[in-house]
């Protein structure tokens, strides 16, 4: 992927802030969240909210500070900035074309743990989006996990992860995540066909929309890139992860969809670059 010429809008860099910034109560939240959130990117925001609700009183999210440019020579930081900016720019254009206004998301880079409006953010959760502060939280070490433990190599695999999280921001702006939360509170379906899986697969589809539209604009995909993203989508499927971590597949506990489904919906978004093709709520998964 030839990303180097992409626009940068800055990141909020909390790396190296030290343990003082690991806010109080984070330990408890971390244990609970790590237990339910094995390496998937994108903890179900409602799960995060409900688990951390009781912790919220003692935790106040850090104020957003001004975005800054990445340190010189920090290519991984710059990459995250470029992809995040591109995803926001892509969705801003899509919203504009439909007469809507897009509010850009934030991105925070951290190491270890950090405070968020959704409670304590921990590296073990994988990258996630917090609707409370409209921010993508990313510990860049996850890229090594993706590469070495999950076998998803390549820069475009990493780009897919960031674009998926921005997809959750789009869902927040469109009200989709709120509707899903309300449906689940009324006792909606869970597991393999549940609303949470549909929400996640839609975020994969939105990542595909970004991939297509950004490439039309930037012409930055190289041969093998698309396969990298599709391979990444496969490597974080619930069935694949469960086999690796538990040795057994439990569809009732699915939160993100199977490997085949995640690949299918990324491709569906990529095919025409049209978010209208991402209706995972009324189509067969």
Q: Which positions ≥6 away from 7 have C-beta within 8 Å?
A: 82, 85, 86, 89
Minimum distance of Zn ion from residue 203's CB (angstroms): 5
b/e 2-24 (16+ beta carbons within 10 angstroms → b): ebeebebeebbbbbeeeeeebbe
Judged by CB under 5 A, does residue 89 bind Zn ion?
Answer: no
Query: Closest residue to Zn ion, Cβ-based?
Result: 42
Minimum distance of Zn ion from residue 132's CB (angstroms): 16
Which CB sits closer to Zn ion, 25 or 42? 42
By the 8 A CB rule, do 86 and 210 touch?
A: yes
DSSP code of 119? E
Judged by CB under 5 A, does residue 115 bind Zn ion?
Answer: no
Which CB sits closer to Zn ion, 37 or 113? 37
What is d(CA 64, CA 77) in angstroms, rounded to the nearest whole number? 18
Size of the site for Zn ion (CB under 5 A): 3
What is d(CA 163, CA 127) in angstroms, rounded to the nearest whole number? 11
Which CB sits closer to Zn ion, 200 or 277? 200
Judged by CB under 5 A, does residue 200 bind Zn ion?
Answer: yes
What is d(CA 280, CA 144) in angstroms, rounded to the nearest whole number? 30
Binding to Zn ion by CB under 5 A, coded x per residue (else -) over 40-79, reads --x-------------------------------------
Which CB sits closer to Zn ion, 25 or 257? 257
Site residues for Zn ion per CB under 5 A: 42, 200, 203
């Amino acid at each position: 992927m030839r990303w180097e010429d992409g626009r940068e809008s800055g990141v909020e860099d909390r790396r190296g802030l030290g343990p003082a910034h690991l806010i109080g109560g984070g330990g408890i939240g971390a244990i609970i969240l790590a237990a339910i959130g094995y390496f998937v990117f994108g903890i179900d925001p409602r799960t995060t909210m409900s688990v951390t609700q009781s912790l919220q009183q003692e935790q106040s999210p850090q104020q957003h500070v001004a975005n800054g440019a990445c340190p010189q020579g920090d290519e991984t930081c710059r990459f995250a900035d470029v992809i995040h900016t591109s995803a926001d720019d892509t969705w801003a254009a899509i919203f504009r074309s439909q007469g809507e206004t897009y509010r850009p998301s934030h991105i925070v880079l951290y190491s270890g743990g950090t405070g968020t409006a959704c409670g304590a953010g921990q590296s073990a959760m994988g990258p996630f989006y917090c609707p409370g502060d409209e921010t993508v939280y990313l510990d860049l070490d996850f890229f090594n996990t993706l590469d070495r433990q999950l076998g998803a190599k390549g820069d475009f695999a990493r780009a897919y992860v960031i674009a998926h999280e921005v997809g959750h921001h789009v869902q927040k702006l469109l009200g989709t995540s709120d509707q899903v939360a309300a449906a689940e509170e009324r006792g909606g379906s869970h597991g393999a066909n549940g609303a949470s899986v549909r929400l996640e697969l839609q975020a994969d589809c939105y990542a595909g929309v970004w991939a297509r539209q950004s490439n039309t604009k930037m012409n930055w995909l190289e041969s093998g890139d698309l396969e990298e993203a599709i391979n990444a989508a496969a490597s974080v499927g619930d069935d694949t992860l469960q086999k690796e971590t538990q040795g057994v597949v439990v569809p009732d506990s699915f939160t993100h969809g199977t490997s085949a489904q995640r690949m299918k919906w990324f491709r569906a978004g990529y095919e025409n670059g049209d978010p209208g093709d991402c209706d995972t709520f009324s189509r067969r998964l």
